Structure 1
């Protein structure tokens, strides 16, 4: 900044640096866990550089105030259970943010600047009014956990393939009718919940996810499963209850790490002959199907270590 000084007939221009807020280094996780949680906004604004954790839950905010974006060292925000309809574009100033909780608000979209928060690792936007998993999430290369359950999501951007760090994705209780094949590119995804949607089929690419351990597809409208399901060999929990399945592919028995399989309330009359290969299966739910007694007995004998419930 240039300051003009007039002395007699002389005028001097003196350059002075702009005053900027000091940004400390981000706290390590252990330090962050013990850092003070500020829940009084006026107090937080008086100690801007010292605020790393902010809790404004249940305080009837209708928007996320731009002045809070002056807390440039923030790493954690809990703003759940407000009435927030919009977030200030100034949120891009919070480049140390690692976790945000905006669940149970009235959000329909996020400002473009939100997708520049490169340090973000966890985001909870459950129970809002989003209609899509926006392409901008693909820019968040450090994002590991994303909760979007309880929204009105109908589409998932193909840019999901760029979410290289994502390991937990909750999209249950939405309006999804299909999934993009690009979901098979999220290589670290280990926990995927798609319960309570309107899915009629799932892409083959979904079962290319070698890290996938838990998959919830219950309460959808599935009528069949692709043979590629047998490639998801890390699966430990697979929920397929409350669909319209009349059969499951033989390849299902290749899931030799599976411990829980829910096939309840479908239209099944039998299961694959090689069921006995699933040595680690401990719970098999088959309530609400049309399986004859002879087939029930065969299934029990094939899985002597499992709890099989008809």
Structure 2
């Protein structure tokens, strides 16, 4: 009995000593310097509303990063190093000053959700062309982007399930029948006449939120 207790203690002690205890995958780190101490242990990194230098970071060390928030960071360009984040599933680039995403953005093959809200300078057609190459992208946020219509490039998305277009300037419900996997369309706070009762003629089987 004593032997078993001693063995159990040694296992717990060795795990703690050598860092084998799994980190909290739900914790958001918002201090870059702290995150850089053990980047392989970081799963969620929130650098929103900060002015941080991202070009000098070796992003390849963040091997387990699944969530990255760079909202309102006044980025004029998206650092190319971000495209090496092979585990990344969600990225928030809202409220920045870039014109287009880097062409290598399509290397983020695990990416499932992208936030591009509150963009003033973004070239949407070119950006959509790049995003359409992401094989696992399921959710796209284009809210408060002053959109009066949707570029045809959006119809190239193959696996998109949720599209958020709230707080824009759309006057008509966009026809998105070619987006075979689309299940949810958010159109709240647009200039659309909502007295249309039968949505099936436009987007059969699609849940639309006004």
Q: Give me the TM-score of the superposition, normalised by structure 1.
A: 0.50
What pairs with 1:169-248 in structure 2 (closer than 5 Å)? Answer: 169-175=163-169, 183-196=176-189, 218-220=190-192, 229-230=200-201, 232=203, 234=205, 239=210
Q: Pick closer, same or farther for the CA change 1:84–1:236 going to 2, 3 Å.
A: closer
Distance between the aligned counterparts of 2:43 and 2:142, measured in 1? 25
Partner of 1:122: 113
**Structure 2 residue aligned with 1:50:** 41
Partner residue of 2:64? 73
State the distance in 1 between where 2:207 and 2:110 align: 30
2:6 corresponds to which residue? none
User: Bigger relative contact order, structure 1 or 2, given CA contacts below 8 A and separation 6+?
Assistant: 2
Write the mapping of 1:97-112 to structure 2, written as runs, cut at 5 A.
97-112=88-103
| Shift in Å, 1:160 | 2.9
> Which residue is equivalent to 2:81?
90
Is 1:139 the counterpart of 2:130? The answer is no
Contact 1:131/1:155 (CA < 8 Å) preserved in 2?
Answer: no
- Write the distance in 2 (CA, Å) between the matches of 1:75 and 1:128: 23
Which segment drifts farther, 32-41 or 102-111? 32-41
Q: How large is the RMSD of aligned CA atoms in angstroms?
A: 3.4
Q: Cα gap change, 1:177/1:42 in structure 2, threshold over 3 Å: closer, same or farther?
A: same
Question: How much does 1:139 deviate?
Answer: 0.6
Output the CA distance in 2 between the equivalents of 1:160 and 1:38: 33
After superposition, give the CA deviation of every residue in 1:261-298 in whole Å (9 maximum; x if it has no partner). Answer: xxxxxxxxxxxxxxxxxxxxxxxxxxxxxxxxxxxxxx
User: Structure 2 length as normaliser, TM-score?
Assistant: 0.70
Equivalent residues, number: 185
Residue segments in structure 2 that go unaligned for 5+ positions in a row: 1-21
Pair 1:77–1:228, CA change in 2 (3 A): closer
Matches of 1:228 and 1:39, distance apart in 2: 43
